[in-house]
Amino acid sequence: MLRELEKNGFLLKKENLISTSDSIFDLKKLWVPVTPIIHIIQNFNSPCIMCDCWKIKEKNWHTPESLIPLFRMLKEKGAASVMLSGGEPLMHPKLKDILLTLNELGLPVELNTNGILLHKNLWISQYDIKEIVISMDSTSVQGYYDIRGANKFDRVWKNIETVKNLQPLQSIGIRATVTKEILENIINFIDFCISKDVDYIGFSPLDTSSFSFSRKNNTKDRSKALRNKILPPNASLFHLRDELSRKESPLQIYIDKKFQERKISWTSQNFVNCINYYLGENSTYVSSPLMCLFPFSSLVLDYNGDLKNCFYSEAFGNLQNYEAIDWSAQSVLKSLKESGACSGCRGKVFCG
Return d(Cα 191, Cα 195) in angstroms, integer: 6
Q: What is the pLDDT along the chain (352 residues), one digit of tens a residue?
A: 344 444 444 444 434 433 334 454 444 444 567 889 999 999 888 888 777 766 778 898 999 999 999 999 999 888 899 999 989 999 999 999 999 999 999 999 999 999 999 999 999 999 999 999 999 999 999 999 998 889 999 999 999 999 999 999 999 999 999 999 999 999 999 999 999 989 999 999 987 666 566 557 767 777 677 778 889 999 999 999 999 999 999 999 999 999 999 999 999 999 999 999 899 887 778 888 888 888 888 889 999 999 998 888 889 999 999 999 888 788 888 888 888 888 888 888 876 5
**What is the gyration radius of the CA atoms in the chain, in angstroms?**
20
Domains of the chain, by residue range, sit at: 30-350
Question: What does the H/E/C string look like for 126-185?
Answer: HCCCCEEEEECCCCCHHHHHHHHCCCCHHHHHHHHHHHHHHCCCCEEEEEEECCHHHHHC
Whether this model's pTM surpasses 0.75: yes
Residue 106 φ/ψ region, left for φ over 0, alpha for ψ in the -120 to 50 degree band, beta for the rest:
left
CA dihedral sign, ordered 317, 320, 324, 325: positive
Fold classification of 30-350 is: TIM Barrel (3.20.20)
